[in-house]
Structure 1
């Protein structure tokens, strides 16, 4: 008989390993809980030891026997991400890797390594982590999933390949308070372009990579530092009657990562469990390759 958890999910993936970034709150924590309920051993990646322990306690309180490993890393720092990736490459054999971590920050905010904070966390971190894990997992099947954003919203925010650090402020928006959101939107388009570039490199390896939009989600904390018009916009989104709770937002990424019907599906983007077409500016192989190469330069990896 198939064992079922409190939430009614069957433990269909008993013994498999998963890695989830941004796993200490909101959608990320809900993803960890769902994968653990399916029987996976889950590596939770977060920035704070305290937040990791508290999130793990919440997951274990709802998923009996949840097997969790806690990994602290500051995903805004390439050095931290590289060390994390090397540790995980040596100690895990994940069948699922989900990049969920994301921030919205002031466009002037820079990390100690000199990268714009939103760019570093939202794009460079998954670039380093997933590239490293993919290269280490040769011959082992796995599904990589990058949690993205609404393709229809992102259509108006093409990546400026000559300004990855989003320093062209007025090009982002003539309203200063909306510039952090515009920079965030660009990085989510970078996520989509990264998916396509990595997917082309993973053909016939047994590893697939796809993008997944969780929907409009309440209680993510993503824009907790928003100001001005961005704060107004965020408030309107949070009051949207069609918004989802984190558990609902986790559904699409987890489905992309685990559904047997998606075996071998590679280089796609899914919204509400449907394969969708992303904006034209994300589809150009030339643009995707240019972003890949410039990202490699920023993180010190061979293109």
Structure 2
């Protein structure tokens, strides 16, 4: 976070809101998928992108909640283009169904915002994978892979750069010593929920970096970046009652508001200054340096290969 809200090179700071960083931007030619769009920064991202004219597809686990959000946004922004589709990122079957339905809709896809995330005690997903890794990383990895050809087609036909945005966290620094526990992903022994969360957020960054490298090699007009939204009081902590209570106590003094928390996502998704920028990590709507582990090309390649073994088991 820029000290005391001072502005970084982009002209924005930790106190900038999503509306402020997108002021004057016309997104009416764009179609975006936002995961986890029914609450928190996902909901605010949906609102602000809709305000800028983007056609939004809210990918949500709870469709009723998503429809309620849609109705509220339509009352606020008459004429907004918003659709709601079911997506459970902890289930590969749900992800594959979503991707198939999206492709059948023949909608273009300019922006893919992988926003949804969880913090939980130890649990396994529908597919038997540790839930942080499954929901926060592997689900978005699979979703991105399934929709990549649609994004490439859209970029070619529209001549508009596609953007993939992974909402990570500065919590990626709090991970296991080996970074990614390839041989212990589902091992409950030695498990610590915040390390598991950090591991999944590190994976988000490595995913964006490796995808960016490959897209550049292929000459594809799609960028892939990751970001830290800032410390925000959202329902992601609903399973950690002590931390949730503590954050509610101090939140008004030290944490960002939801509009501030969605700013970096909206900046990376829409701002013209980010055109052509790929493989970077953003914080407070500015490019931010990462740890050496988050820059490890070999680790990123290994993670990609490992991920394909999980989504395509023999």
TM-score range, shorter chain: 0.7 to 0.9
CA distance in 2, matches of 1:237, 1:182: 19
CA distance in 2, matches of 1:236, 1:249: 19
In structure 2, what is the equivalent of residue 160 of structure 1?
181
SS in 1 for 2:235: coil
Aligned residue runs from structure 1 range 111-126, under 5 A = 111-126=125-140
Structure 1: any 5+ residue segments left out of the alignment? 1-6, 173-178
Deviations 1:95-142 (A, max 9, x none): 1110110011222x1123212222111111110111222233325131
Matched, 1:257 2:264: no
Query: Quick check: 1:36–1:42 contact (8 Å CA) kept in 2?
Result: yes
CA distance in 1, matches of 2:227, 2:313: 26
Aligned residue runs from structure 1 range 100-249, under 5 A = 100-107=115-122, 109-139=123-153, 140=155, 141-150=161-170, 153-157=171-175, 158-165=179-186, 167=187, 169-170=189-190, 172=191, 179-203=192-216, 204-218=219-233, 220-227=234-241, 231=242, 233-238=243-248, 239-240=250-251, 241-249=253-261
Shift in Å, 1:243: 0.7
CA distance in 1, matches of 2:24, 2:287: 25
Deviations 1:39-69 (A, max 9, x none): 0110001011211111112222222221101
CA distance in 2, matches of 1:11, 1:188: 29
Deviations 1:220-252 (A, max 9, x none): 11111115xxx2x34333414121121111111
Higher relative contact order (CA 8 A, sep 6+): 2
CA distance in 2, matches of 1:54, 1:256: 27
**Distance verdict in 2 for CA 1:32–1:72, change over 3 Å:** same
**Distance verdict in 2 for CA 1:10–1:275, change over 3 Å:** closer
| Number of residue pairs matched by the alignment | 280
CA distance in 1, matches of 2:174, 2:61: 31
Query: Quick check: 2:172–2:197 contact (8 Å CA) kept in 1?
Result: no
- Which shows bigger deviation, 200-209 or 131-140? 131-140
CA distance in 2, matches of 1:194, 1:58: 34
CA distance in 2, matches of 1:251, 1:147: 12
SS in 2 for 1:191: helix
Out of 38, 41, 59, the position equivalent to 1:24 is 38
Query: Quick check: 1:95–1:143 contact (8 Å CA) kept in 2?
Result: yes
Query: Quick check: 2:109–2:150 contact (8 Å CA) kept in 1?
Result: no
**Distance verdict in 2 for CA 1:154–1:11, change over 3 Å:** closer
Shift in Å, 1:285: 1.0
Query: Quick check: 1:85–1:128 contact (8 Å CA) kept in 2?
Result: no
SS in 1 for 2:181: coil
Aligned residue runs from structure 1 range 260-299, under 5 A = 260-299=272-311
Shift in Å, 1:10: 4.1
Shift in Å, 1:208: 0.4
> Pairwise CA RMSD of aligned residues?
1.9
Deviations 1:1-50 (A, max 9, x none): xxxxxx78546111321110000001000000010000011000101121
TM-score (structure 1 length as normaliser): 0.87
**Distance verdict in 2 for CA 1:168–1:110, change over 3 Å:** closer
Shift in Å, 1:276: 1.3
Query: Quick check: 2:108–2:150 contact (8 Å CA) kept in 1?
Result: no
In structure 1, what is the equivalent of residue 98 of structure 2?
84
CA distance in 1, matches of 2:284, 2:220: 27
Matched, 1:45 2:66: no
